[in-house]
Structures are given as C-alpha cells and as structure tokens.
Structure 1
Amino acid sequence: MKEFQRKQLLERVNREGATIGATIPDEIEVQGETLDLQEFVFEIKRRDTIPSGERDRVDRAKRNLRRERIERLEKIEDDEVSYEEGERLVESIIGIDRALNALEQLEPVDLEQEAQVQEAADKKRWMNFLNKALGRDSDNKGIRR
C-alpha cells in the first residue's frame, strides 16, 4: 500500500462523524472469539439501562472491542496489510466504533451525583483561588481554624 493510501484510510477511521450511517457488524471476531455483535448491542439497548447482572458482561465486551479496535488500527498504521485489506479493516473499525458508541450511551447518568461532584470541584477551585490570593500554600498551612 502506498503511504497516501494508508493516510487516507487512517483519516477515514479518525474522521469526526465516521460512525454516522455506519452499521454494527452482524458478527465480528474479537480476541479469537466470534461475537454476534449486532444482536448483543440490540439486546442490551432494548433494556434502556444495563441490568446489574449484565454490567460485567457489557464492560468485558467493551474492553475487548476497544482492544480489537486498537489491534486492527495498528495493522493499518504499521503498514502490515494491503490497501484492500485496509479497506476491510477500516469498515470493521467503524463498525466497532458504532457498537461502542451504542453501548456507551447506555451508561446511566446520575444527575444528583454529578452535581455533587461538580460542587465539590467548584469548592476546591475556590479554596485554591483564595489561598493563592491570600498568599497561602495550597496545603492549607497558615490557615487558622
């Protein structure tokens, strides 16, 4: 494969919105095992949230998909494949990305917890600002209580 072709393939993978209109592959070989990816994603998405009993299975699948994505991308980056094989790898990587996006959207968002984390971070930033403005160390030395 020529260098410009390899760069073109890599650009397609990293393009913003590459997964728009992409389909999740029916099956994919991930870490040596065949996974019915589309069925798995749709089965999990039907539930709106990930049941606690399925969380480990979903997390393991996401880790394996990320690992497989990296391995496939490295084959293109390291110029180990022909242009035609690179095209197939790009399509599969985009499919993996689509599946990962679908699975990531299922993570429950705890708004109350996020608000508490944000408030704690705001307080910490404010205290750091006050300490700097008053010429005190950030480890609170010199602050009377």
Structure 2
Amino acid sequence: MKDYKRKQLLERVEREGSTLGADIPDEIEVQGETVDLHQFVFEIKRRDKVPPGERERVEEAKKNLRRERLQRKQRIEDEETGMTFEEGEELVESIIGIDRALEALQSLGPSSIEQEAQAKEAADKKRWMKFLKQALGKEDDTGKRGGY
C-alpha cells in the first residue's frame, strides 16, 4: 500500500466524529477470542447503570477493546505488513466499530466529578433564582407571577 493511502486510513481512524452513524460490530475477535460485541453492549446499555457485579466485567471489556484497537491501528501503521488498501479499509471499519462500542460503554460509567459539580451548581442556581423570585414577590408558591 502506498504511504499516502496509509495516511488516509489512519486519518479516518482518528477523525473526530468518525463514529457518527457507525454500527457496533455483531462479533469481533478480541485478544484471540470471539466476542458477541453488539449483544454485550446492548445488554449492558439497556440498564440505566452498570450493576456492581457487572462493573468489573465491563471495565475488563473496555480494557481489552482499547488494546485491540491499538493493535489494529498499529497493523495499519506498520509498513512491513504488506497490507492492501482494501484490508486496511476493513481494519479501519473494525476500529471505528470498536470506538463506537467504547463510546457506548463509556457513557454508562459514573459521571466525572466535573460533570457532577456542574449539575449541582446548575441545580443550586435554579433553587436560588426561585427563592429570589419568591422573596421579591415576583412568583408565588405555585410558580405563577404575583400581582396579576
């Protein structure tokens, strides 16, 4: 494969938004083991939060998916593999599928401390504004404006 084609493939892998519209692969071989990836992600995502008993399994799956993603990307980068452009395209599609699965699994984890702090701050501001409106007579207890 020509160098510029390899660069095109690698650019697609790293492109922001590359997972938009991408499907999670039904099956994928990860670390030499075939995984029903779509089914696994679907089963975990249908719950609001990862149950404590499943948390370790999900973290292990994410770690293995990240490792597999890196290995596949390195295969594209390696000029010695003698890979064709078509084989590279297949690898890119599988990497994007892995990224899509990782995004889905990542969104299930506990929210970051920053996100929690922002949500609390927004709730505090909302309560404060409601209090001020009530105190200044701009709004009664039912949420309707007073004086009309």
Q: TM-score, length-normalised on structure 1?
A: 0.75
> Which one is further off, 92-101 or 81-90?
81-90
Percentage of identical aligned residues? 70
The DSSP-based 3-state class of the residue aligned with 2:109 is: coil
1:65 aligns with 2:33: no
Counterpart in the other structure of 1:85? 87
Shift of 1:109: 2.2
Change (3 A) 1:73 1:110: closer
**Whose Rg is larger?**
2
The DSSP-based 3-state class of the residue aligned with 2:52 is: coil
Counterpart in the other structure of 2:140? none
The DSSP-based 3-state class of the residue aligned with 2:53 is: coil
Shift of 1:112: 9.3
- Report the residue type matching 2:93 in the other structure: E
Q: How many residues align?
A: 115
The DSSP-based 3-state class of the residue aligned with 2:21 is: coil
Q: Deviations over 1:63-105 (max 9, x none)?
A: 0000000000000011222211100000000000000000000
Off by >3 Å, runs of 4+ in structure 1: 110-115
Question: Pairwise mapping of residues 30-109 of structure 1 onto structure 2 (< 5 A)?
Answer: 30-79=30-79, 80=81, 81-109=83-111
Shift of 1:48: 1.5
Shift of 1:16: 0.8
The DSSP-based 3-state class of the residue aligned with 2:34 is: strand
Q: What CA distance in whole angstroms lies between the structure 1 residues aligned with 2:65 and 2:113?
A: 28
